Chains A and B, each alone.
Chain A
Amino acid sequence: SQQGEEDPQALSIQEGENATMNCSYKTSINNLQWYRQNSGRGLVHLILIRSNEREKHSGRLRVTLDTSKKSSSLLITASRAADTASYFCATDGGGGADGLTFGKGTHLIIQP
């Protein structure tokens, strides 16, 4: 079943602009992860934020987590054409044995 729900489903912006994607989930989590997928290929792990963290940065990426609202956001600053991809949030309930629960993703298009 899908837990994470990304918003928006699709986003088109100009190169150089910032892109923000949101994710909501339903149950308690151990951590929340963001992945990128290019053209139906494998997923690339971008960043992981634990349930006791509120914000995390990695290069041009910034992730926030609000466990009281069960939501997270991914900000990509100074977007590039190579950022065009689908972005998925995935929740980990803990222990890893139940696998990740993915949202349906946000398709991001960066216009040159």
Chain B
Amino acid sequence: TQLLEQSPQFLSIQEGENLTVYCNSSSVFSSLQWYRQEPGEGPVLLVTVVTGGEVKKLKRLTFQFGDARKDSSLHITAAQPGDTGLYLCAGAGRSNYQLIWGAGTKLIIKP
């Protein structure tokens, strides 16, 4: 069974600080996606990483896919209250049909 473990589960920091969220597995994924979800809404895709070692930047967010394609990280620089939300990672595994989802990291940025 393929599993994705996200850490930390919960993070509350002050505006302006940096943070990193991790997504780890013992399985290899063909790609990994990061989503952000606000309360009462569906997840919104932020980025897809495909190549081992790939780094993608989205303004203050930096996403990295591990060289072995088993893990990924999301780094936020100078966090802002608007970054508050549930961050989910999801990996495309053996099945072409569905993603393997992490349990999410609940992020709160205090002004």
- Is the pairing of A and B real? no
By a beta-carbon cutoff of 8 Å, the part of chain A in contact with chain B is none
